[in-house]
Structure 1
C-alpha cells in the first residue's frame, strides 16, 4: 500500500477499531494523527539516490517503517545480450585447446589443404571465370584465413590490411585498358585482312572493315550491358541465364571451335614462316641428308608443336605465358612496318595485276566477312577489361572501346590496303607468303611472327581444354590423367589439320564465318533482346538494331561457312592441300 494509512474514525455505534500494530498501551487522542503503517515507493525517494536507503529522522513512536528497497525486475532486453556491443564485451581473449591446435598446425598440413583447394576446377581464361576466381590476382594473392583454419593461398604470410585495401583500390587507367583491348583485336587474324580485301573487292573491303568495326564496338559494349542486366560476370553465365543449358552448350561449342580453329591457323603460320627463316640462315642445309628435314614444312610443324608448344600447353595456369601478349603486339607492329617498307620494292613478277586494284565488289564478299570477323573478335575479353578499370562505369568503358576499335581499324586498314594494292589478285591468306623467300626484312617479320605462334597456340589450347572441363567436369576435382589426355588429343588434332592444309585463308574463313560471327554478332544481341524490356514492337528503336544484328550474323554464318566448305570440297575451289 502506497502513501500513509491514517487511523480510521470510530463508528457511529461507538465501537473502537483496534490497530494491527501498536504499542501495548491504549491509543490516546493525541496520537490519532500518527502514522501507524508506512511503505515508501521509489517515487518518494530522491532520483539521485534511488538505489540507496535514504536517511530518515529518528523513528517516531506510533509508526512502523519498512526499509527494504522495492525493485521491479522485468524480462531481459534482447539488446543486452545479443547486440554486437554486448558480444564484444562478453568475448574473451582466451583460446580453447581446439583453436590453439588449429593455429599451431604445421605448414605441411596447410599446404596439403591448399593443394586440395587448387585441385578443384579453376577457370583459366576470360569468359570462363567464376565469381570466386575472377577476383583472384595471379601476381600476388593474399592469404585469407578461414574460420576452420584453412588457407586459400599457399602463401604463409599474414593478411596485410593495407595491402588488401590497396588491392581494392587498384586498377588500370583508361590507357591501360585501351592497350589491352587493342592487343586483343590485333591478333594473328590481321595478316589475313589483305586476303579478305581481295575476296570482297577494294571498295567493298574498306566498307566491310568500317561496318564490322562499328558493329564490333557496339556488341563489345552490349556484353557488359548484358552482364549488368543479368547479374552475371562471364559470357557463359550470361548465355546460361538467358537461354538455359542450351545457351551454355551453344556458347561453349563456339568458343571451343573458335579456339581450335585458331590453333590450326597458328600451326599453318608456323609452317609458313619458320622454314623460310631456316633456309635463309643456312642455305646449304637442304643438301645435308638428315638436317634437310629442318627445311620441310611438315617436319617443322610437328617438331615445333611437339617439342615447344606441347610442354607449354601442359601448364594449368595461364599466367605462365603472361608475357606472350607483349610478344604478340611487337610481332604485329613488325609485320605492319615490314609490309609497308618492302611492299613497293618487291620484284615485278610477284606483284599482282594493276588493273584489279580498285575493284568495287567480288564474288567472295561473304567469305571476306568471316575473315574480318576473325580479326576483330575479342568479346571473350570484354568483361575482364571492363573489370580492370579503376572506375568501371559504362561511360568509361565506352570510351575505351571506341578508342581501341578506332586504333585497330587504322592498323588493319593500313596493312590491308597497302598489301592489297601491291599484290591484288595474287594476295594469299598469309600475306608474308607473297614476299620472296630471301627478303631479309620480311624474314625477320616471319621469325618474330612464327616465334609468337609458339606461345599463342598454347593460349588457344587453354581455352579448348577449359571449355571441356567446365562443361563436362565442372563438379569434379582436377585429374592429371584427364588433363594430359585432353591436352594431347586437342593438340595432335590441330597439328594434323595444319599438316594437311597449306591455305590459311580457308581456315580463317571457316573459323571466322562459323564461330566469330556467333560470338561477336548473334549471341550478344540475342541476350540483349531476352534481358531488356524493349516493348512488344520489333521495329522499336531499342529492338530493331539487335534484331538486325542477329539476322546479319545468322546469314553471314550460313553463307560464309557454305562458301568456305565448297571451296575445299569441290574441284572449282583453289584451296591448297599439302602433299
Structure 2
C-alpha cells in the first residue's frame, strides 16, 4: 500500500511537471535552440540550474525572464546534469566593479584623443562641447539597448544577439563587423608603435639623424613589442585579468592630460621665434600656417591676433570632425564580454559601469582638447604631440608623454583583441569545450597577421579606415537598435511604441553617420588629401 501510494505521488508530480500550464507563456522569439541554451546561460551556471529542483532567486535584474528561461531549460535538457559541459564562456564572473570600469574605459580610449584639439579648432569650444556631449549620451543609450536586449534573452554575446534577432545572417554580420573594426583598430595602434618608438629612441639618444641600427628599425620594434608585451596579455583566459594593465594604461593618459594642462601655462602665445635647428614656426607665413592645418592652406594675416579662442566655428573641415567625434566612444564590442565576467552581474550594475567609463573619458577628452587648443589655437596640428615637437623636439616632458601614450596604446591592443577572438570562436567553434591550444593559436595568428599588415602593407590602414567607417556605425548605432526592435516581444512593446520608435530613429542616425564618413573618406581619396580620420 505504501509503495503504491508513493508510486501514485511520483506519477502525479510527474504529470504536474509536464503540464504546459505550469510554465509561463513566452514569445516564440525568446525560445533558444537546444544547443544554444547549454552555452549561453550567463556565467556558465546552466549545470547548477539543471541539477536543482528549485530555482534560486537572483538579485536585481540580471535578465528579465530568468525564471522562465531556467524552467524551460529543464524541459529542453532533462538530462543536462548527467554530463557537465565546459565552454569557453563557462566560468563564474569574478571581475570587480572597479576593474570593469578600467577595462571599459581603456576600450573607449584610443589614439583619437590626440586629434581632439584639432577638432575643437575646427568647431569652436561651444560646438565641440555640444557634439561631445551628444555623442556621449548616444553611446550610453546604445549600451542601454544592448544590455536590455541581452537581459530579455539571457545572452551576453554580441554575435548571439544577432543570431537571436536575425538568425545566422545576423550572427555573421555582427561577428564580421567586430572582427574588421577591431583588427583595424589594432593595426592603427601597432602602426603608431612602429612609427613613433624609433623617434622616441632617437630623441633619448640625442641623435640628429636616424641610424641603421636594428633598435631604430620600426619593423623590428613592433615585433618585439608584440611578442614581449601584447602577446602575454592577450593569452589571459579572462578579460577581467587585464584590469591592472588597463588601470596603468589610463594612468598614462592621465599623465598626458596633466602635461597638456601644464604646457598651456608654460608655452607663451604668440609662440616665440625659434633658432638653430628647431623649426621657426613663428615666421608666420602662409606656408607655416598651412602646416598647422594638416596640409590645407588657410590664408591668415601675420598681424592678426591668433591667441583668441573661437567659441563657434564653421569651415570646410567642420563637417569632417562630426563623424570622427561620433565614433569617439567606441567600446560596444567589449561591453558584453565585460558584462559576462562581472562579479554579481546585473543590467543596472553594467549600465553604471558604462556610464562611469563614458563620463571619465568625456572629461579627459574635453580637457585634453580644450587645453591643447588654448595652447596653440588655430596652429594646432591634427596630432597634438607633433605640435609640441615643433616648439621643442627635445622637450623631456613631451618625450615622457610620448612614451606614456605609446604605453597606453600598446596596452589597449589586448583589450581590443578579446572580442575578435570571441567572434572567431562564435563563428567557427561554437559549442566547443575551452581549449588552451585554440585560445593561444587564435591570438598568435591574429597578432602575426596584424604585424604583417603593419610591416609590409602600411597603406592598408586606408582600407581599414573605409571598413571602420562602415563597421563602427553598425556596432554603435544600427545593430543595437535593430536587435532591440527584433528581440523585444511585441506584447511588451508594440512596434509603434515610443522605445521602438526611438530605437528606429537611432538606427537611422547610424546610417546617416555611415554615409557621411564614407563620403568624406572617398572625397579624401579623390582629392589626395588626409582630412578625415578615425577616433581610434
Q: TM-score range by the shorter chain?
A: 0.5 to 0.7
Alignment of 1:295-444 (within 5 A): 295-298=216-219, 300-305=221-226, 308-309=229-230, 321-346=242-267, 347-348=271-272, 354=307, 357-383=310-336, 386=339, 392-436=345-389, 437-444=393-400
Shifted more, 302-311 versus 409-418: the winner is 302-311
In structure 1, C-alpha distance between the alignment counterparts of 2:343 and 2:42, rounded to whole Å: 19
> Aligned pair 1:270/2:223, yes or no?
no
CA distance in 2, matches of 1:265, 1:382: 21
2:498 equivalent in structure 1? 541
The alpha-carbon deviation at position 255 of structure 1 amounts to 0.5
- TM-score (norm: length of structure 2): 0.67
Name the CA shift for 1:510/1:213 in 2 (closer, same or farther; >3 Å): farther
Q: Which residue of 1 aligns with 2:172?
A: 249
Residue aligning to 2:514 = 557
Determine which of 185, 195, 218 is the counterpart of 2:108.
Answer: 185
| Cα distance, 1:264 vs structure 2 | 1.5
How far the C-alpha of 1:466 sits from its partner, in A, is 3.5
- Secondary structure of the residue that 1:361 maps to in structure 2? coil
1:260 matched to 2:183 = yes
**Alignment-derived partner of residue 207 in structure 1:** 130
> Does structure 2 retain, via aligned residues, the 8 Å contact 1:267–1:495?
no
Relative distance call for 1:395 and 1:284 in structure 2 (3 A) is closer
Bigger helix fraction = 2
Task: Name the stretch that deviates more: 484-493 or 201-210.
Answer: 484-493
> CA–CA distance in 1 between the matches of 2:437 and 2:343?
37
Cα shift at 1:236: 1.5
Larger radius of gyration between Structure 1 and Structure 2: 1
**Residues 575 and 359 (structure 1), Cα distance of their counterparts in 2 relative to 1, 3 Å cut:** same
Report matched runs for 1:165-244 at 5 Å.
172=96, 178=101, 181-198=104-121, 200-244=123-167
1:446-465 alignment to 2 at 5 Å?
Answer: 446-465=402-421
Q: TM-score, with normalisation over the residues of structure 1?
A: 0.63
- The 5-angstrom pairing of residues 130-141 of structure 1 reads 130-131=39-40, 134-135=43-44
The structural deviation recorded for 1:568 is 3.7
Residues 1:528 and 2:449 are matched in the alignment: no
Shift of 1:358: 3.9
SS state of the match for residue 498, structure 2?
Answer: coil
Q: SS at the partner of 2:5?
A: coil
Pairing of 1:282-297 with structure 2 (within 5 A): 282-284=205-207, 286=209, 290-291=212-213, 293-297=214-218
Identify if the C-alpha distance between structure 1 residues 276 and 189 changes in structure 2 by more than 3 Å, giving closer, same or farther.
same
**What 5-or-longer segments of structure 2 have no aligned partner?**
12-37, 46-79, 273-279, 283-291, 293-305
Superposed CA RMSD in Å reads 4.3
Tell me, in whole angstroms, the C-alpha distance in 1 between the residues paired with 2:319 and 2:464.
Answer: 13
CA–CA distance in structure 1, aligned partners of residues 103 and 328 of structure 2:
15
Is this contact kept in 1: 2:118–2:381, CA < 8 A?
A: yes
Indicate which of 454, 474, 490 corresponds to 2:430: 474
Structure 2 distance, partners of 1:151, 1:392, is 22
Q: Distance in 1 between matches of 2:85 and 2:41?
A: 15
Structure 1 residues 319 and 183: alpha-carbon distance in aligned structure 2, compared to 1, 3 A threshold? closer
Relative distance call for 1:488 and 1:385 in structure 2 (3 A) is closer
SS in 1 for 2:368: helix
Structure 2: distance between partners of 1:229 and 1:148: 28
The answer as to whether partners of 2:317 and 2:531 remain within 8 angstroms in 1 is: no
Q: Which moved more, 1:214-223 or 1:226-235?
A: 226-235
Give the Cα–Cα distance (whole angstroms) in 1 for the partners of residues 151 and 260 of structure 2: 42
**Partner SS, residue 114 of structure 2:** helix
Cα deviation digits, residues 274-311 of structure 1 (max 9, x gap): 22321222124857x642x5345455435534665456
